[in-house]
Amino acid sequence: MSEQIQHVRPHENTRAIPIGSLLLEDGPSVDRRAERLAEGTIHRVLAMRDHPGEAELARITNDLLTYCTVLANGLDTVPDGDLCTRGQAALVAWDQLRTDGPADGPLGTWSYPRHLAHCARDMMTAIREYRQNAASAARFIGRTVLPPVATDTP
Protein backbone atom coordinates (compact mmCIF):
# COMPACT_ATOMS: atom_id res chain seq x y z
CA MET A 1 0.00 0.00 0.00
CA SER A 2 1.30 3.46 -0.81
CA GLU A 3 1.64 6.04 1.88
CA GLN A 4 -0.44 9.14 1.72
CA ILE A 5 1.59 12.31 1.24
CA GLN A 6 0.68 15.17 3.51
CA HIS A 7 0.84 18.66 2.12
CA VAL A 8 1.60 21.28 4.68
CA ARG A 9 1.11 24.95 3.92
CA PRO A 10 3.71 27.29 5.33
CA HIS A 11 2.46 29.67 7.97
CA GLU A 12 1.08 32.78 6.31
CA ASN A 13 1.29 36.13 7.97
CA THR A 14 -1.95 37.97 7.47
CA ARG A 15 -2.96 41.37 8.72
CA ALA A 16 -6.30 43.08 8.77
CA ILE A 17 -6.09 46.29 6.79
CA PRO A 18 -8.79 48.89 7.39
CA ILE A 19 -10.17 50.00 4.04
CA GLY A 20 -13.05 52.11 5.32
CA SER A 21 -11.39 55.42 4.50
CA LEU A 22 -10.58 54.18 0.99
CA LEU A 23 -14.29 53.76 0.28
CA LEU A 24 -14.81 57.47 0.87
CA GLU A 25 -12.19 58.50 -1.64
CA ASP A 26 -12.59 58.28 -5.37
CA GLY A 27 -10.45 55.17 -5.39
CA PRO A 28 -9.03 53.01 -8.15
CA SER A 29 -11.04 50.63 -10.27
CA VAL A 30 -10.59 47.78 -7.76
CA ASP A 31 -12.70 49.69 -5.23
CA ARG A 32 -15.32 50.41 -7.88
CA ARG A 33 -15.38 46.74 -8.88
CA ALA A 34 -15.95 45.67 -5.26
CA GLU A 35 -18.68 48.28 -4.99
CA ARG A 36 -20.36 46.94 -8.15
CA LEU A 37 -20.18 43.37 -6.81
CA ALA A 38 -21.80 44.47 -3.56
CA GLU A 39 -24.45 46.37 -5.47
CA GLY A 40 -25.17 43.33 -7.64
CA THR A 41 -25.60 41.12 -4.58
CA ILE A 42 -27.89 43.70 -2.97
CA HIS A 43 -30.10 43.93 -6.05
CA ARG A 44 -30.21 40.14 -6.41
CA VAL A 45 -31.31 39.68 -2.79
CA LEU A 46 -33.95 42.39 -2.94
CA ALA A 47 -35.34 40.93 -6.18
CA MET A 48 -35.49 37.31 -4.89
CA ARG A 49 -38.96 35.88 -4.91
CA ASP A 50 -38.23 32.16 -4.55
CA HIS A 51 -36.20 30.51 -1.81
CA PRO A 52 -32.76 29.70 -3.30
CA GLY A 53 -32.01 26.89 -0.85
CA GLU A 54 -30.31 26.91 2.53
CA ALA A 55 -26.74 26.64 1.24
CA GLU A 56 -27.15 29.51 -1.23
CA LEU A 57 -28.96 31.60 1.37
CA ALA A 58 -26.10 31.04 3.83
CA ARG A 59 -23.56 32.11 1.19
CA ILE A 60 -25.53 35.25 0.34
CA THR A 61 -25.90 36.10 4.03
CA ASN A 62 -22.16 35.69 4.54
CA ASP A 63 -21.43 37.98 1.57
CA LEU A 64 -23.84 40.61 2.85
CA LEU A 65 -22.35 40.48 6.35
CA THR A 66 -18.92 41.11 4.81
CA TYR A 67 -20.20 43.99 2.67
CA CYS A 68 -22.02 45.56 5.61
CA THR A 69 -18.91 45.36 7.78
CA VAL A 70 -16.76 47.08 5.15
CA LEU A 71 -19.40 49.72 4.42
CA ALA A 72 -19.91 50.42 8.13
CA ASN A 73 -16.16 50.93 8.50
CA GLY A 74 -16.35 53.42 5.65
CA LEU A 75 -19.22 55.30 7.28
CA ASP A 76 -17.40 55.37 10.61
CA THR A 77 -14.66 57.48 9.02
CA VAL A 78 -17.13 60.17 7.89
CA PRO A 79 -17.14 63.17 10.25
CA ASP A 80 -20.32 63.29 12.36
CA GLY A 81 -21.45 66.58 10.86
CA ASP A 82 -21.11 65.28 7.30
CA LEU A 83 -22.95 61.98 7.77
CA CYS A 84 -26.48 62.14 6.37
CA THR A 85 -29.53 60.88 8.23
CA ARG A 86 -29.72 57.78 6.01
CA GLY A 87 -26.14 56.88 6.97
CA GLN A 88 -26.81 57.37 10.67
CA ALA A 89 -29.94 55.22 10.49
CA ALA A 90 -28.07 52.54 8.52
CA LEU A 91 -25.38 52.34 11.21
CA VAL A 92 -28.04 51.96 13.91
CA ALA A 93 -29.80 49.26 11.86
CA TRP A 94 -26.47 47.50 11.26
CA ASP A 95 -25.70 47.41 14.98
CA GLN A 96 -29.16 45.99 15.65
CA LEU A 97 -28.91 43.36 12.88
CA ARG A 98 -25.44 42.31 14.00
CA THR A 99 -26.56 42.03 17.63
CA ASP A 100 -29.86 40.21 17.03
CA GLY A 101 -28.96 37.93 14.13
CA PRO A 102 -31.65 36.09 12.18
CA ALA A 103 -35.03 35.65 13.86
CA ASP A 104 -36.27 32.27 14.99
CA GLY A 105 -38.69 30.47 12.74
CA PRO A 106 -38.84 29.50 9.09
CA LEU A 107 -38.80 33.07 7.77
CA GLY A 108 -35.84 34.18 9.91
CA THR A 109 -33.15 32.98 7.53
CA TRP A 110 -35.12 34.37 4.59
CA SER A 111 -35.76 37.85 5.97
CA TYR A 112 -32.32 38.40 7.54
CA PRO A 113 -30.45 38.74 4.20
CA ARG A 114 -33.16 41.09 2.95
CA HIS A 115 -32.69 43.32 6.00
CA LEU A 116 -28.92 43.18 5.49
CA ALA A 117 -29.38 44.13 1.83
CA HIS A 118 -31.52 47.14 2.76
CA CYS A 119 -28.92 48.19 5.32
CA ALA A 120 -26.02 47.77 2.85
CA ARG A 121 -27.91 49.71 0.19
CA ASP A 122 -28.50 52.60 2.60
CA MET A 123 -24.84 52.60 3.67
CA MET A 124 -23.67 52.59 0.05
CA THR A 125 -26.04 55.44 -0.79
CA ALA A 126 -24.74 57.45 2.17
CA ILE A 127 -21.12 56.91 1.11
CA ARG A 128 -21.89 57.96 -2.46
CA GLU A 129 -23.73 61.02 -1.19
CA TYR A 130 -20.75 61.96 0.98
CA ARG A 131 -18.37 61.51 -1.99
CA GLN A 132 -20.58 63.66 -4.18
CA ASN A 133 -20.86 66.41 -1.56
CA ALA A 134 -17.11 66.36 -0.92
CA ALA A 135 -16.37 66.52 -4.65
CA SER A 136 -18.77 69.40 -5.27
CA ALA A 137 -17.45 71.31 -2.24
CA ALA A 138 -13.88 70.90 -3.49
CA ARG A 139 -14.72 72.55 -6.81
CA PHE A 140 -15.44 75.92 -5.23
CA ILE A 141 -13.21 78.53 -3.66
CA GLY A 142 -14.57 79.62 -0.31
CA ARG A 143 -14.97 83.37 0.18
CA THR A 144 -16.62 84.66 3.32
CA VAL A 145 -18.19 87.83 1.93
CA LEU A 146 -18.91 86.90 -1.69
CA PRO A 147 -20.69 83.90 -3.19
CA PRO A 148 -18.47 80.95 -4.19
CA VAL A 149 -16.76 80.95 -7.57
CA ALA A 150 -16.28 77.74 -9.52
CA THR A 151 -12.60 76.95 -10.15
CA ASP A 152 -13.22 75.82 -13.74
CA THR A 153 -14.59 79.20 -14.87
CA PRO A 154 -12.30 81.43 -16.98
Reported as a single tens digit per residue, the pLDDT across 33-72 is: 778 888 999 999 999 888 888 889 889 999 999 999 988 9
55: in domain = yes
- Total domains present in the chain: 1
Q: Is the pLDDT of residue 125 over 70?
A: yes
82: in domain = yes
Q: Which pLDDT value is given to residue 13?
A: 57
Task: Return the H-helix or E-strand segment holding 12.
Answer: none
State the pTM of this model.
0.69
146: in domain = no
Q: Pick the more confident residue, 41 or 152.
A: 41
39: in domain = yes
11: in domain = no
Structural domain for 132, as ranges: 32-136
67: in domain = yes
Report the SS3 class of residue 149: strand
94: in domain = yes
pLDDT-based confidence at 3, cuts 50/70/90?
A: low
CA 127/CA 103 separation, integer angstroms: 28
